[in-house]
Amino acid sequence: MTWPTTLRGDRTATRITSPRLAESESVFDQRGWAELQQQLDALPVFTCADEAGTPLEVQLSGQTKPLAVFYADVEAAELALAKARATRIG
């Protein structure tokens, strides 16, 4: 098994290696990501992703760039996924 686990809209989880975004200039292109990726791959962490498996990014107040968020708690990840889906639908 590899981690993190990506939650999709149907509550199923797919185990994948650490996700990468298609766009450049993302958090995954930054210095230090490789080390963090190794740490995340060793832990059961979750991220919310779209149907293609691309991690969803959030814009936090005070931040200039969107960030991918990882969760250690599956219920917190599911709640974030539900909120993201409601935002996309509504």
pLDDT at 76: 92
pLDDT at 14: 55
Domain count for the chain: 1
Contacts of residue 68, Cβ cutoff 8 Å, sequence gap at least 6: 19, 21, 26, 27, 28, 47, 55, 56, 57, 58
Q: Nearest-5° angle of CA 36, CA 14, CA 46? A: 40
Q: Residue 11's domain spans which residues?
A: 5-89
pLDDT tens, per residue, the chain with 90 residues: 344 455 555 555 555 555 554 455 677 778 888 888 888 788 888 888 888 888 888 888 888 888 888 899 999 989 988 888 888 775
Distance CA 61, CA 67 (A): 11
